[in-house]
Amino acid sequence: AQSVTQLGSHVSVSEGALVLLRCNYSSSVPPYLFWYVQYPNQGLQLLLKYTSAATLVKGINGFEAEFKKSETSFHLTKPSAHMSDAAEYFCAVSLQWETSGSRLTFGEGTQLTVNP
Amino acid sequence: ETGVTQSPTHLIKTRGQQVTLRCSSQSGHNTVSWYQQALGQGPQFIFQYYREEENGRGNFPPRFSGLQFPNYSSELNVNALELDDSALYLCASSLRVAGGETQYFGPGTRLLVL
């Protein structure tokens, strides 16, 4: 079974500062990894995904994440925070669908606050 | 915009009632998944349908059931509603292909059970 741990339920940064949201996963087979963002009263929007190609993945809105197998991590970063980045961020893992379907297992989420 | 729509946006029911939530997937997507997101938590997988057949189920009781139709629409049915069923219900559509599958989410239906 796969699982995801997001370290820090709340992260606060200043506008223009580095954003670092941490995600560690557990999986018995090579996983697919995703970051989604959720704005208040909305669904989930895909930021980026790792599907066993390049380990450094670039996503939308200037976000990127690096897959580190040795650390079982997939941390999300953005060099310079913008006020519009304030939202809830979810890391998720799935397996190849041939293994057990393609259900997403989510972390508990990290609420990002950006201070002016 | 993901091209995934859900209806209704909000719903209030009383304990013991039944509810049907609807989802319209992206055209061409052959897989739909449903998730329950309680307040302040991450989404929890309910079940998944691939080409109109159930293809995986999370830790939810049988009173949660679903259907997927050939016209890219799907339903989540919940019988005998309980107070703890109050949550945001999200559907996600995807195209199952070799090498990976990306789920695109709708805006959700917020269900309140009184």
**pLDDT tens-place string over residues A22-48:** 999 998 777 889 999 999 888 999 999
Asked if A45 and B56 come within 8 Å (Cβ–Cβ), the reply is: no
Does position B98 have pLDDT exceeding 80, yes or no? no
The answer to whether the CB atoms of A104 and B106 lie below 8 A apart is: no
Contact yes or no for B106 and A90 at CB 8 A: no
At residue B99, does pLDDT exceed 70? no
> To the nearest whole angstrom, how far is the Cα of B33 from the nearest Cα of chain A?
7
- The more confidently predicted of residues A86 and A101 is A86
Q: What is the pLDDT of residues B21-30, one digit of tens each?
A: 999 998 888 8
Q: Which residues of A touch B (CB under 8 A)?
A: 32, 34, 36, 41-46, 49, 51-52, 90, 94, 96-97, 100-109
Burial classification of residue B106, based on how many CB atoms lie within 10 Å of its CB (0-12 exposed, 13-18 middle, 19 or more buried): buried
Tens digit of pLDDT for each residue in A48-91? Answer: 999 877 889 999 999 999 999 899 999 999 999 999 999 999 99
Cβ neighbours of residue A43 under 8 Å, at least 6 residues apart?
A: B2, B4, B6, B90, B105, B106, B107, B108
pLDDT digits (tens, 9 = 90+) for B43-96: 999 999 988 999 889 999 999 999 999 988 999 999 999 999 999 999 999 988
